[in-house]
Structures are given as C-alpha cells and as structure tokens.
C-alpha cells in the first residue's frame, strides 16, 4: 500500500519537466530572436550612418574639386557667375550653394525642404547674397546615368570670420567677441598659432558645408575648412641665382638686358610701380658675376643693362631667401609639388624646335600652362612665345629666338645658357630662378647641405651664361608681377579642418 501511494504522487512529473524545458527553450529562442533583431537594427543603423556620411563627404569633395580652375567641371567653367573669379576675395555674407536634387525633387525648393540653419548659428545673421548652381550629377553627361548618385542635398561655400569660427586670429587675437566682418586668411609660412589671420596674408580660407539625407530620414552635416595650396614661390627679381658660389657670365652683346622694373600686363592685371631687383643672388660675392673680358665683374658700359630704373647700376643684390628655397630639400619638395599638378610632364633630353613641338598645344596667353621637363631642354629655332611655368630639372639651352611670358625654373642641374640665334627681338617676361640640387652625375645633393650651386671647377657647368647672345637682337629678362601671378599653377585646395556638425 505504501508503494502504490508513492507512485501516485509522482504521476505528472515528466509533464512538468517537459513544460519547464520547453519554457527554457522558448525563452532562449525569444532571446535569440530579440538579439538578432537588435543586431539587424544596429547593422542597419551602421549602414545608414556610413552611407549618409559618405554621401555628405562626396558633396564636400565635389565642391573642393570644382574650386580648382583647371578642373573641366570647375565652377568658373560651368557657371562663371556662381563665385568670383579665382584669386578674388569672397565677401563675408556671400553664400553659394551647390544643389543636388534627387529624381523627382525640384532644385528651386531644395533649400526650403532642407533648410540651412547652421549658417545663422555661425554668423549670427542671414546671408546677404545667395547663389545656387547644380551639382555635376545634375548636369550633362552625368545626369543621364542610371546608376545611383550621392545622396547629398546641398553644399554651401562661404567665407569665414573669427566670429564664425569662434577662435581668435592674428594679428590682434582680440575677443570674444571676435571680428565678424573681415575674411580669414591662411599663411602657412607663419609659426603655428599665427597662420590664421585677418591681415590679407596668404590665401583666403573657405568653408564647405554639406548636408546629406537618405530615404530613411538619416541626415549628416559635415564641414571642411579649405584654402588654396600655397606654392611659396616668392620671386623678387628678374633673375635669381640660388646657392653658394653662383656663376654669372654676362652677355657681351649691348642688346641684352635684365630689368627689375615691373612690366607686362596679363589679363586684367596691370604692372605695379614697384622696382624689383634685376639680379638676386644668395651667397658668394659679386666677383662671381663674371664677363670674359672683365673677370672682376660686369663692364662699366653694360652695367646699366642690369637695372630696376631706381637703384644704382648694376642692380645686383645679395638677398636671403625663404627656408623652402634655401636648401636642397626644400627645392626638391617644390619640384615635387609642381610636378604633381603640371599640365605636362616631359622626359628629357628633349628639343622644342620649329619642326618638333613637345609643349601642350592649348598653351596661350589666356591659358598659361605648367610644364615640367625631367632632364635637359633645348630651344632651337622655336620662334614662338611660351606662357606659364616652365620647370627644367636638367640644363636649359635657351635659343634667343624664343620668348616666354611667366616663370622659368631651372632646379636640378641649375644651369641656363644661350644658344646662338638671330631672328627677331625676344624676351622673357616674368622671372627666372636657377638652383643646383644635383651633382655632376645627376645625384641629389645632401639635404643637410645648403649649397645649391657648385663652381665651374667642379667639372659640371652651373649658373647663368648668356655670353653668346648675338648683337643683332634686343633680348633680355624683365620682371613682370602680372605674368608671375598668371603663371602660378593651380594647386588643389588643402583641408585645414574637418568635422561633423551635431544636428
């Protein structure tokens, strides 16, 4: 009787255990489902956050690229009224929007649908002037593509002030309250902390702000501060010889001149009244400026051929150069920067002649170009005028039949000499700069050594030699601030800062 009663008490235990196990399994299953849903939601949020981030970044990069005048889709090319001409200060209060409406959206209502309260937050007032243009995705031929396009809505381009940045800037560093009316500039040659200024020193700082919106409502507001990349090529003489013991062999021709008086118009630029130097040199003594018949210097009869029209003749001065131009390392960096943005990079040795044209055919007075010749360049019977910046890393053999408006840099072998010619009056308007950074075998000089030139006794020609210029020509090198400015290459806008704006 006792055993039977015990078995009756245990009836149903298995069922309870089964229910309990099923309950545990259900709880685990529900937890897995919830966890999976959470992970899916997190993954979806991450995809949205990443997508909207890169959409906004695409807008910033489009605007930054189109600020470059040589970009085929530059604002200057596609809509000349959108922004002031390159080099012109963008006024505070002038705001330009690049609009990127999606299919079915109207560009005219885009700023109403997706307003921009951030501008007023930064400047405290509404924009005085608002301009708009379309993105490249809404222009031919890209507007005919069937592939998805970046989903940013607009990019704003504007000048900045100390107030909008909420930081003190040079020279006074006054505030708060900070200056709210003067554009901010960036001068990379100044010490850290003094590079931003309101003294019009350097290049103007522009603000790019992009808003991206995804179909699911995700939004992102990103911002760049950008400025044109400075070349830091400060040329203050018609002819500059950079380095130790520069060798200058003057022409015996009474028709050869080097002038520091500013001359030559380019576009809307007119020459200044400033008297620049005829010839600058950085080291050595004036006795290094030799003429075969007079080893101690330039003959008295020809000294007035090296003039700026104001100072005593010959106007040849020993001057210091900026740090980037006074060492082989700085000059090598300059060569790399110019090469990276050149319109044409030509391997040398090469000859530009009347029958062989190696220069870009699009070169003209209204389209100066940047040409780099890696090696020796010879002008021979080329009876034309070049426009822009010419960089030669070897030796430059210059035919007086040729003319050049702009900048000629001979950095590497650092040697420029004349090739006998007798055609017509020719000249170089702008500036010529010579610096030796390679030894006689073409190997780089040590970056720690300041010498740029070596003496002719080293076995390699160096310096400037126009002694073979014919007497029948009127030729020379004449300083032109306008052509120097026109020849400066358009380098990409560098990013000074990048951040996300909370919404």
**pLDDT tens-digit series, residues 484-495:** 988 988 788 999
Compute the distance between CA of residue 388 and CA of residue 205 in angstroms, rounded to an integer.
25
Window from 50-59, 163-172, 297-306 with minimum mean pLDDT: 297-306
35: left (phi over 0), alpha (psi -120 to 50) or beta: alpha
The answer on pLDDT for 162 being more than 80 is: yes
| pLDDT (0 to 100) of residue 122 | 96
83: three-class secondary structure by DSSP:
coil
Work out the number of other CB atoms within 10 angstroms of the CB of residue 402: 23
Higher pLDDT, 231 or 346: 346
Please, what is the average pLDDT of the chain? 83
| pLDDT (0 to 100) of residue 412 | 87
CA 221 to chain centre: 26
- Contact between 296 and 287 under an 8 Å Cβ cutoff? The reply is yes
* Whole-structure pTM value: 0.68
Compute the distance between CA of residue 214 and CA of residue 124 in angstroms, rounded to an integer.
29
Question: Per-residue pLDDT averaged across 338-363, rounded?
Answer: 90
4 by Cβ neighbours in 10 Å (0-12 / 13-18 / 19+) ranks as exposed
| pLDDT (0 to 100) of residue 295 | 45
Establish how many alpha carbons lie within 13 A of residue 60's alpha carbon, considering only the half-sphere containing its beta carbon.
27
The answer on pLDDT for 22 being more than 50 is: yes
Work out the number of other CB atoms within 10 angstroms of the CB of residue 71: 18
How much of the chain is helix, strand and coil, in % rounded to 5?
A: 25, 30, 45
Work out the number of other CB atoms within 10 angstroms of the CB of residue 353: 17
φ, ψ for residue 286 (rounded to 5)?
-65, -20
Higher pLDDT, 39 or 199: 199
Work out the number of other CB atoms within 10 angstroms of the CB of residue 444: 12
The answer on pLDDT for 36 being more than 80 is: no
| pLDDT (0 to 100) of residue 413 | 82
The answer on pLDDT for 346 being more than 90 is: yes
| pLDDT (0 to 100) of residue 475 | 79
| pLDDT (0 to 100) of residue 454 | 36
Question: Per-residue pLDDT averaged across 57-83, rounded?
Answer: 92
| pLDDT (0 to 100) of residue 208 | 98
Residue 296's pLDDT band, with cuts at 50, 70 and 90, is very low
For residue 293, list its beta bridge partners: none
Angle among Cα 230, 232, 235 to the nearest 5 degrees reads: 135
pLDDT in tens, 301-344: 888 888 998 988 888 888 888 777 877 888 888 999 899 889 89
- Contact between 245 and 455 under an 8 Å Cβ cutoff? The reply is yes
Q: Of the ranges 11-25, 36-50, 363-377, which is most confident?
A: 363-377
For residue 304 the two structure tokens come to 């007035």
Window from 5-9, 206-210, 390-394, 432-436 with minimum mean pLDDT: 5-9
- Contact between 90 and 57 under an 8 Å Cβ cutoff? The reply is no
| pLDDT (0 to 100) of residue 465 | 66
Question: Per-residue pLDDT averaged across 271-282, rounded?
Answer: 87
For residue 448 the two structure tokens come to 């720690």
Q: What is the domain partition of the chain in residue ranges?
A: 75-231+492-500, 237-487
For residue 346, list its beta bridge partners: 373
Compute the distance between CA of residue 381 and CA of residue 417 in angstroms, rounded to an integer.
15
φ, ψ for residue 357 (rounded to 5)?
-110, 115
- 389 Cβ partners below 8 Å, 6+ apart? 338, 368, 369, 370, 371, 406, 407, 409, 487, 488, 489
| pLDDT (0 to 100) of residue 201 | 83
Question: Per-residue pLDDT averaged across 284-303, rounded?
Answer: 58
The answer on pLDDT for 283 being more than 70 is: no
Window from 358-367, 395-404, 429-438 with minimum mean pLDDT: 395-404
Measured CA to CA in angstroms, residue 77 lies from 86, 412, 487 at distances of: 11, 36, 19
| pLDDT (0 to 100) of residue 456 | 36
87: left (phi over 0), alpha (psi -120 to 50) or beta: left
Compute the distance between CA of residue 251 and CA of residue 473 in angstroms, rounded to an integer.
12
Compute the distance between CA of residue 402 and CA of residue 377 in angstroms, rounded to an integer.
13
| pLDDT (0 to 100) of residue 448 | 43
pLDDT in tens, 240-266: 988 766 677 767 677 788 999 999 988
Four-point Cα dihedral 423, 429, 433, 438, nearest 10? -40
- 339 Cβ partners below 8 Å, 6+ apart? 345, 372, 391
Q: Which residue has the tokens 């005085």?
A: 128
């Amino acid at each position: 009787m006792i055993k039977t009663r015990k078995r009756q008490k245990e009836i149903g235990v298995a069922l309870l255990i089964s229910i309990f196990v099923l309950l545990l399994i259900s709880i685990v299953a529900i937890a897995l489902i919830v966890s999976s849903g959470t992970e899916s939601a997190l993954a979806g949020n991450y995809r949205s956050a990443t997508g909207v981030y890169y959409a906004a970044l695409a807008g910033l990069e489009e605007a930054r690229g189109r600020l470059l005048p040589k970009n085929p889709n530059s604002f200057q090319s596609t809509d000349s009224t959108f922004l002031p001409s390159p080099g012109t200060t963008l006024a505070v209060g002038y705001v330009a929007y690049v609009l990127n409406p999606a299919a079915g959206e109207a560009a005219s209502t885009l700023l109403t649908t997706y307003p921009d309260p951030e501008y007023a937050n930064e400047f405290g007032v509404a924009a005085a002037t608002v301009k708009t243009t379309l993105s490249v995705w809404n222009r031919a031929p890209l507007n005919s593509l069937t592939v998805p396009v970046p989903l940013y809505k607009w990019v704003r381009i504007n000048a900045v002030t100390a107030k909008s940045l909420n930081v003190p800037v040079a020279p006074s560093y006054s505030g708060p309250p900070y200056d709210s009316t003067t554009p901010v500039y960036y001068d990379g040659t100044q010490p850290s902390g003094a590079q931003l200024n309101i003294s019009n020193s350097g290049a103007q700082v522009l603000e790019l702000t992009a808003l991206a919106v995804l179909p699911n409502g995700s939004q992102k507001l990103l911002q760049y501060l950008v400025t044109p990349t400075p070349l830091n090529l400060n040329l203050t003489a018609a002819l500059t010889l950079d380095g130790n013991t520069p060798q200058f062999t003057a022409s015996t021709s009474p028709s050869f001149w080097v002038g520091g008086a500013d001359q030559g118009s380019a576009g809307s630029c007119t020459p200044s009244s400033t008297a620049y130097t005829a010839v600058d040199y950085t080291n050595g003594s004036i006795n290094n400026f030799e003429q075969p018949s007079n080893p101690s210097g330039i003959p008295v009869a020809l000294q007035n051929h090296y003039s700026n029209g104001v100072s005593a003749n010959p106007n040849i001065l020993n001057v210091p150069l900026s740090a980037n131009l006074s060492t082989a390392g700085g000059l090598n960096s300059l060569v790399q920067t110019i090469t990276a943005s050149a319109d044409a990079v030509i391997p040398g040795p090469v000859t530009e002649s009347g029958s062989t044209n190696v220069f870009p055919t699009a070169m003209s007075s209204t389209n100066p170009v940047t040409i780099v010749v890696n090696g020796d360049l010879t002008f021979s019977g080329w009876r034309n005028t070049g426009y822009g910046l010419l960089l030669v890393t070897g030796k430059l053999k210059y035919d007086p039949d040729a003319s050049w408006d702009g900048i000629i840099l001979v950095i590497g072998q650092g040697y420029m000499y004349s090739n006998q010619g007798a055609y017509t009056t020719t000249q170089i308007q702008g500036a010529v700069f010579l610096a030796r950074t390679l030894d006689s075998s073409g190997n780089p000089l040590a970056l720690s050594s300041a010498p740029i030139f070596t003496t002719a006794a080293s076995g390699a020609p160096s310096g400037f030699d126009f002694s073979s210029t014919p007497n029948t020509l009127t030729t020379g090198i004449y300083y032109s601030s306008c052509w120097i400015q026109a020849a400066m290459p358009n380098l990409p806008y560098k990013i000074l800062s990048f951040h996300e704006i909370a919404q």
